[in-house]
């Protein structure tokens, strides 16, 4: 059972000094910034965005995050729910195209008992899985290699999102936008 639940215990962590200056909620701060690629923010819609996990369980481990700052699923409006679901759908499609996994784990941590570390802002983990895979981070180890792997995965996912219907890319280093 440990393996089944392991992906949900791996949360977003501060990658470098620059991010340690975020007061309050990182999931509220990141969409406001200019440099999406540096922040690993790969796609955004009206009410949600997709962020690569800094500590991926597997390559392509992302979080689909509603823009609304709440930890209560019941707080999301119909528009926010639909937009979040639609962005999850796009994320599965982009990951399938870019990474060709054998399957996915996907889910939310709700409440303190569920093991999430950023409990006050909802986020859905999407974890691509391959037959016989093991936790990617212990396999890689070296942090400079991890950053490089994250950037490569970012570019692969970005290209796949950008090829989807309704996608626009506002500029270099910017996330794919869905209107
Ligand atoms: Zn927040």
Is 7's pLDDT higher than 50?
Answer: no
* Contact partners, residue 33, CB within 8 Å, separation at least 6: 39, 41
| Predicted pLDDT of residue 10 | 46
Q: What share of the chain is helix, strand, coil (3-state, %, to 5)?
A: 40, 15, 40
Mean pLDDT over 81-97 rounds to 98
Task: Let me know how long the chain is.
Answer: 179
Mean pLDDT over 110-138 rounds to 78
First to last CA, the chain: 40
* Contact partners, residue 2, CB within 8 Å, separation at least 6: none
Give the global pTM.
0.86
Q: Which domains does the chain have, with CATH numbers?
A: 19-164 (3.30.428.10)
123 is catalytic: yes
In angstroms and rounded to an integer, the radius of gyration of the C-alpha atoms of the chain is: 15
Pairing between β-strand 176-178 and β-strand 167-168 as defined by DSSP bridges: antiparallel
| Ligand 1 mean position, distance from CA 123 (Å) | 10
Least confident of 12-16, 59-63, 171-175: 12-16
| Ligand 1 mean position, distance from CA 127 (Å) | 22
DSSP 41-81: EEEE-SSEEEEE-SS-SSTT-EEEEESS--S-GGG--HHHH
| Predicted pLDDT of residue 14 | 47
Mean pLDDT over 74-92 rounds to 98
- Of residues 84 and 9, more confidence is placed in 84
Q: Which of 47, 84, 123, 158 is catalytic?
A: 123
| Ligand 1 mean position, distance from CA 102 (Å) | 32
Cα–Cα distance list, 113 to 62, 71, 122 (Å): 22, 13, 14
| Ligand 1 mean position, distance from CA 100 (Å) | 31
Is 92's pLDDT higher than 80?
Answer: yes
* Contact partners, residue 178, CB within 8 Å, separation at least 6: 43, 44, 45, 46, 86, 87, 90, 164, 166, 167
| Ligand 1 mean position, distance from CA 63 (Å) | 13
């Amino acid at each position: 059972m440990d393996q089944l639940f392991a992906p949900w215990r791996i949360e977003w962590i501060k990658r470098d000094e620059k991010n340690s200056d975020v007061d309050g909620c990182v999931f509220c701060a990141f969409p406001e910034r200019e440099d999406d690629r540096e922040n690993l923010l790969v796609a955004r819609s009206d009410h949600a965005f997709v962020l690569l996990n800094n500590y991926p369980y597997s390559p392509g481990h992302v979080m689909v995050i509603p823009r609304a700052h709440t930890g209560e699923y019941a707080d999301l409006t119909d528009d926010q729910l639909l937009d979040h679901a639609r962005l999850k759908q796009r994320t599965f499609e982009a990951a399938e195209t870019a990474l060709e996994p054998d399957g996915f784990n996907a889910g939310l941590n709700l409440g303190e008992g569920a093991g999430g570390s950023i409990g006050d802002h909802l986020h859905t983990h999407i974890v691509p899985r391959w037959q016989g895979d093991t936790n990617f981070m212990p396999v890689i180890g070296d942090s400079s290699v991890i950053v490089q792997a994250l950037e490569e995965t970012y570019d692969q996912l970005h290209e796949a999102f950008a090829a989807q219907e309704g996608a626009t890319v506002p500029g270099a280093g910017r996330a794919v936008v869905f209107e």
